[in-house]
Structure 1
Amino acid sequence: MERPWSEPHCGSCANGGVSQPRLVLYNSLVDRKVPFVPAAGPNSKEISWYTCGPTVYDSAHVGHARNYLSFDIVRRVLEDYFGYTCLYVMNVTDVDDKIILRARRNYLLVQYRAGATDAARVFADASEALAAAVDKQRRKVGEAEAALADAAAEAGSAGEKRREELSTNLAQEQLLLGKQEAAAAALAAAGQGAGVAALLQLAGDALAEALDRQLGATVTDPAIFRAHAAKYEAEFLDDLAALGCRLPTVLTRVSEYIPEIVHYVEQIVANGLGYTANGSVYFDTQAFRASGHTYGKLNPWAVGAAALAGEAAESTGEKRHPCDFALWKGAKPGEPFWESPWGKGRPGWHIECSAMASAILGQKMDIHTGGEDLRFPHHDNELAQAEAYYHSCGCQQWVNYFLHSGHLGIEGLKMSKSLKNFITIRQALESFTPRQLRLMFVLQPWEKKMNYGEQAKEEMRAKEALLRNFFSNVEVVLRTQKVAATLQRWEEEERVLQSELAAAQRRVHESLCDNINTQGAMGALCDLVKAANIYLAKREGGAAGPGPQAFLLRSAAAYVTRILAVFGLVASPGDFLGFADTAAAGGSCGGTETVLDGFTAFRDTVRGMAKSKAPAAELAAACAGVPDEAASKAGSSGRAAELLAAFTAFHQQIAAQAAAGAPPVEVLTACDRVRDDTLVELGVRLEDKPDGSSVWKPEDPAVLRADQAERAKAAAEARGKKLRSQLEVKRKELEKFEKLAALPPIQQALADKYSRWGAATGEPTHDKEGAALEGKALDKAKKEVEKQRKVRAPLEKKLVEEPGFMAALAADIAAATAELAALGLAENGTA
């Protein structure tokens, strides 16, 4: 169905006032890309933005990071690339059914645990609670199956979309059922002998739900609910900071906007689009439609589907129509409440955003964002409430652009707290840096579903390594090249690289204009990096040719850095206040460079001497005056002092080896150790080149350690492959000779055929009956003996040449098996 949406435009401009290629955004209100025009006019750079923040009832997970990081990236592009000034509002839902339930249940479970001393009693309670939870979830699965079956005959794209969402809903309900059945089976297997702590670990959630049914109404202290919300709000804000997300301009809490919410509900009722019932207030969806408005603009195919309606599906007996939803909920025992014209109560889920966004942004906003799962009913109900509130003003389009981030999938389903298939942001940051998580989302379209899996992780790691190596290589050129002594004339290679830079700039701009396509922009940057690497390889490959042009390389690297800063992958001016510190902004310290240059040069010298087996006296002479020169120029910075201390320790070690006349291999070992251990911990990557020189690059120690671990893993796997091959050969050889060694003597092996043997020849002379062998019978007997001798010949020969070879083979097999075990590798090729 065609959904109503009007493109914002300036009335005096026939084409909307924009003549150049335009920024387009995927607008969920029409599910297509449309030109972006601020409500203030096509030439305005001021935009308003409201984003649905967290419902703070539990820790935020990577699915939430997908939403907040994705829109942080979109916001940065609009602000830092396109130059918009954004009034950015985020809400915190600190009054909500989920918060109330979780706070109450946690409180009751803590109280229960404090008095739980009888394991038998706990086992009985837990078993009963889990059985009830399984029964309830089975009913939900049945309802989900029925809803999907009912939608089977619906025609058109709306029917197809409804079936798709109902199918996903069924899969989620089935997943929850499987988890609960598994918990019930584990509880039954554990028995009461497992102990109280283990029983509560298995059945805590189900037991908390059962306790809430029995005792929830007795929890009346509002501090319990506020403390719960405050804890997870603080944790969420810490997570945002850890992820490097820009803070909102305005942060609104439901509990601080109760007067505005009450007024909002009053106005909707006054406009004839809401009604009261037993202390609650409901939105009248039928009256809303009758007054000329459209209900379900974002997700029309979900309207009327109870399984997809969330709160709207609650059957209270107070609603005039099943699609109506609560604006204000009358107070119930065990819930926080506020005074209102309708008595004590609290806001419904959806009204908070309409009221708070209107309080800050008014009757019109440019952008509203949130996760895909909020389309219906939350965002559709928000829109309906705002249009109902502003009904007398003729408001038909409260939001101009609705942007929804795609689900983050894991194991085929969206990551969700309710499904218990989530990874918290804090857990993810134990495996990834904030930059890596951000890069993972930069490499995906913000509006499309993505899977949190190995493919996304590997793509992120590959791109990060490509960029890191590029910046390091350019930094080496800038640091080591003497511009005054280097040919600056441009040749074909320079013109090609400049062409690649210009092409990347065009592609990045086109990609960002096309719905903030950061994936495409990153592709353009990576192609530029690859072109620059090819250029570097050509210019550094020939000793007689011109070196790389430092200025051109810096221009390419500066552009890549600029766009990465726009994405929040490196620091940008919007991320700090005041004057940026040189070092913090990425500047280099002259003292540090001096020490590292001296350190590297000294190591190159002694390493080269060790390789050429120079006399110890020459090695001792090379140590004279080092590292005094570097020390005189190092300055007093902590970084330079750390490096100078490491340089001094290495110099003393080499000097001691020279004085003792140590063999060259010991010097080379010391050179490798300082590269692989000392400098790694100091954040320096030292790369040895084939010509004997080396180059240093600054790097995060964690990255260097990870690289070392990868190399060690690869080396271990290569060694393991070789060991397994050797084991296979040696085991087959040992098995062959052991079989030969186990063979009986020839006369014994043929005793069933021959009874007497010649003493001199060792050949049979009589058959088994005692008759003398003659003619063909004798010839046949000799052939049989010869065959037996050939079988035993290899073993006999080997024993003559290497008497202890079988013991040596067994020892080799044992050593290879032990080495595989030490490497953490199995003999069958698995870790």
Structure 2
Amino acid sequence: MASKRSVREWSVPRSDLEMNKLKLYNSFTKQKEEFVPVSGKRVLWYNCGPTVYDSAHMGHARSYITFDIIRRVLRDYFKYDLFYAMNITDIDDKIIKRARQQFLFAKYCEEHKNVDNSTIKCDILKAIDHYKNKLNAETDEDKKKMMIRLLENVENYGNNIEICSLKKIESVLSEWLDSIEGHDVNDISVFESLPRKHENEFYEDMTALNVLAPDVVTRVSEYVPEIIEYIKKICENGYAYESKGSVYFDTVTFSTNPKHQYAKLVPEAVGDRAALDEGEGVLSVSESKLAEKRHPNDFALWKASKPGEPFWESPWGKGRPGWHIECSVMASAVLGKTLDIHSGGYDLKFPHHDNEIAQAEAYYDTGDDWINYFLHSGHLTISGCKMSKSLKNFITIKEALEKHTSRQLRFAFLLHSWKDTLDYSENSMHDAINYEKFANEFFLAVKDIIRSVETNTFTKWSQLELDLNLKFHDSIAAVDVALCDNIDTRSALDAIKELISSCNIYMKSTSIPNAVLLKNIAGYITNLFEIFGLLENGKNEIGFSSNVESSVNREEVIIPLLDVLCKFREEMRLIGKEFKLNQILDKCDELRDDILPDLGIKIEDKEVCGVMKTVKKLVDREMLLKEKEERMKIEEEKKKAKEKRKLEQLQAQVAKEAQKKINPVDMFRNDSNYSQFDEKGFPIADKEGKPLSKSAIKNLTKLYQQQEKRYKEYLSSLNESNAS
């Protein structure tokens, strides 16, 4: 009887690798923490939006592109169900003051169209005196430098001012106008039109940057009733008090309650007078306002409106919301009492975000956290310098987009850590542009292979394909590790760059590359780039979209025609090389370099395994023309450098010929360094009459003998010329 074998029962396989878990840098703990939403895959996210009193600048782009990238990665890579809310601050001290100033400046220009220039000059002098008083009172060194620049600008234009050029000194003049007439501005439309204008511009800029629209936008002006009710509840809970028509948050009472802690994000900043004043607003900081508070750290929830300021009726009188309260109220209104993520710029940590947290936790008064993860994007500098609207040294998003594309700007952000300072400079943009070009060339090369090789033809894999496929899956794992590690897009892009380099080496190593494998790799990279928001025109099968390839019919028509054209060109080049017909070769190059790029077509001559092949690419016409322009610029610089060298050689030759004609007897006589000479014209004393040293005589003797030789050669050439 056969023995009964022991057969192991099947069991669930165990992976030899642990699944990577997403970790995010949480400003509360100042370290990376595992991301765990309260409700499974549902993520409630509130992002601090702009205060719309001016055009959006690159500092805004830093924040909104950063959180757009993180949002896309959470949604499309980690598959979270996001609900993303953003506010628009359309009631604020800066908005009120800017709106008044623009209104009064426009009114002044209109009223003084036909006024004698002497009157305007008199007003400018008054404006200068007013501005100098502000300058003397300013303590911030950066702001003082900015104000000095503005005053110098007034002095440059002030003496020859005309009504049409007042715009050049608007900042100084409007400050003075606001100081004497601002309290009389009471038309509510003045304070509404400015934020509406800049809000619309902001949306246009975000669309141009390919930033996803929020799921919901909350405006302060639309939530005033909710803000009033919210403040009333905080007062009822004992954490706020009314004083002269304003309501202030009681930081001392809040801090002494064991359930609460004030300034959770930046506790060391408590008492920072400059930061607190900035948070209160330019119209709300004065000794009288400070006297209304029980403690200097207390901050306004509701501000009593003065003449020249918009107002709403409230239990405490006519007033308007403080800055910090708006976010606490609106976030709670649309997201509830617990937020998974709150985000904003690094500079908002204190006092704005710390005050938001305190207000919300005072409102609910449960002792629970209002926010679980606070994300702050890093600062943005311009070529190493601090950028600020208040310092008037910012670059608007529209200005940046005139120089670089939306994709290039996003690449620059992706190539840096989202929480660290990013320097917007020629160097950072150079890296971004090069990465875009590197990836695009890969996509175009793969497309050319796919067109040339049947993708549904499966061939036996060699070791080259096996190695590349292993690299492909190692890269996928590396990207996953990077994205789980605080959305590290820089490391993810490094892994993709290595993968593309491996593909490029592979494509050069085989005469018939595997189109299926390359298509899979290019498709994965395209999908990742789409997740990063790098594909402005929606999903593509492979690579970046272009105007050329937006129509399938266009490609179907062009590619067969291009095949015929390239084959003809290859044959002409072979004939030209064989019979050394340079004109034919020149014409072939002209077709490649000048004619086809203007049609959005790029062809390249590449050697693959010892065989020259023509690679055909349909590329965005503007990109090709820009490359052509840069190439011509480089060639022109080379040409100028060559001409310069040729001229310098000619000048050197002329100088050399001129040098030959000098009789050695005369060569030192006009040199002021010497005062006495022998009968041969050789120096024997310096300019002060002292005899020359032995070393000086030795050096001069060598020069004298060299000139003697040159002069003899010159005389000899003259004799030969005369004899002939």
Q: 1:484 to 1:740 in 2, by over 3 A?
A: same
Aligned residue type for 1:262: I
Q: 1:742 to 1:252 in 2, by over 3 A?
A: same
* In 1: Cα distance, 2:599 partner to 2:490 partner: 34
TM-score w.r.t. length of structure 2: 0.85
Q: 1:572 to 1:790 in 2, by over 3 A?
A: closer
Q: What is the Cα deviation at residue 441 of structure 1? A: 0.5
Q: 1:478 to 1:802 in 2, by over 3 A?
A: farther
The percent of aligned pairs where both chains have the same amino acid is 42
Q: What is the Cα deviation at residue 720 of structure 1? A: 3.2
The equivalent residue for 1:279 is 245
1:498-537 aligned within 5 A: 498-537=469-508
SS class of match (1:321): coil
Matched, 1:471 2:439: no
Judge conservation of contact 1:25–1:516 (CA < 8 Å) in 2: yes
The equivalent residue for 1:325 is 299
The equivalent residue for 2:317 is 343
**1:173-227: per-residue Cα shift (whole Å, max 9, x none)?**
32332232233334335551254444541x3212111110100011111111111
Tell which deviates more after alignment, 405-414 or 84-93. 405-414
Q: What is the Cα deviation at residue 791 of structure 1? A: 3.3
**1:116-142: per-residue Cα shift (whole Å, max 9, x none)?**
44434433433443444344234333x
The equivalent residue for 1:548 is 513
Q: What is the Cα deviation at residue 583 of structure 1? A: 5.8
The equivalent residue for 1:188 is 155
**1:346-367: per-residue Cα shift (whole Å, max 9, x none)?**
1111111111111101100100
* In 1: Cα distance, 2:44 partner to 2:483 partner: 20
Q: What is the Cα deviation at residue 111 of structure 1? A: 1.4
1:230-241 aligned within 5 A: 230-241=196-207
Q: Please, which of 591, 600, 603 is the counterpart of residue 686 of structure 1?
A: 603
**1:481-516: per-residue Cα shift (whole Å, max 9, x none)?**
24688x822222212211211111111000100000
1:3-402 aligned within 5 A: 20-40=19-39, 44-116=40-112, 117-141=115-139, 173-198=140-165, 200-201=167-168, 203-292=169-258, 293-309=260-276, 310-312=278-280, 314-315=285-286, 316=289, 317-391=291-365, 394-402=366-374
Judge conservation of contact 2:664–2:708 (CA < 8 Å) in 1: no
**1:441-478: per-residue Cα shift (whole Å, max 9, x none)?**
01111111111112211111121111011111111111
Tell which deviates more after alignment, 371-380 or 594-603. 594-603
The equivalent residue for 1:738 is 658
* In 2: Cα distance, 1:787 partner to 1:537 partner: 58
1:427-446 aligned within 5 A: 427-446=399-418
SS class of match (2:301): strand
1:598-747 aligned within 5 A: 598-613=564-579, 665-689=582-606, 693-741=613-661
Judge conservation of contact 2:22–2:485 (CA < 8 Å) in 1: yes
* In 2: Cα distance, 1:127 partner to 1:529 partner: 64
* In 2: Cα distance, 1:714 partner to 1:432 partner: 20
* In 1: Cα distance, 2:178 partner to 2:468 partner: 68
* In 2: Cα distance, 1:737 partner to 1:255 partner: 84
The equivalent residue for 1:761 is none
* In 2: Cα distance, 1:753 partner to 1:424 partner: 74
Q: 1:483 to 1:731 in 2, by over 3 A?
A: same
Q: What is the Cα deviation at residue 535 of structure 1? A: 1.2
* In 2: Cα distance, 1:753 partner to 1:432 partner: 71
Judge conservation of contact 1:312–1:323 (CA < 8 Å) in 2: no
Q: 1:713 to 1:299 in 2, by over 3 A?
A: same
* In 2: Cα distance, 1:743 partner to 1:475 partner: 73
* In 2: Cα distance, 1:586 partner to 1:135 partner: 67
Q: What is the Cα deviation at residue 413 of structure 1? A: 3.7
SS class of match (2:55): coil
* In 2: Cα distance, 1:568 partner to 1:339 partner: 44
Judge conservation of contact 1:126–1:200 (CA < 8 Å) in 2: no
Q: 1:190 to 1:91 in 2, by over 3 A?
A: closer
Mark the runs of 5 or more structure 2 residues left unpaired by the alignment: 1-17, 670-676, 681-703
Tell which deviates more after alignment, 682-691 or 251-260. 682-691
Tell which deviates more after alignment, 595-604 or 247-256. 595-604
Q: What is the Cα deviation at residue 708 of structure 1? A: 1.8
1:555-570 aligned within 5 A: 555-570=520-535
Judge conservation of contact 1:680–1:701 (CA < 8 Å) in 2: yes
SS class of match (1:336): coil
Matched, 1:791 2:704: no
SS class of match (1:589): helix
Mark the runs of 5 or more structure 1 residues left unpaired by the alignment: 1-18, 142-172, 541-546, 615-663, 756-784, 804-831
Q: 1:582 to 1:252 in 2, by over 3 A?
A: farther
SS class of match (2:323): coil
SS class of match (2:472): helix
* In 2: Cα distance, 1:537 partner to 1:689 partner: 9
Aligned residue type for 2:232: E
Q: 1:271 to 1:797 in 2, by over 3 A?
A: farther
Q: What is the Cα deviation at residue 604 of structure 1? A: 2.6
* In 1: Cα distance, 2:207 partner to 2:565 partner: 38
CA RMSD in angstroms comes to 3.0
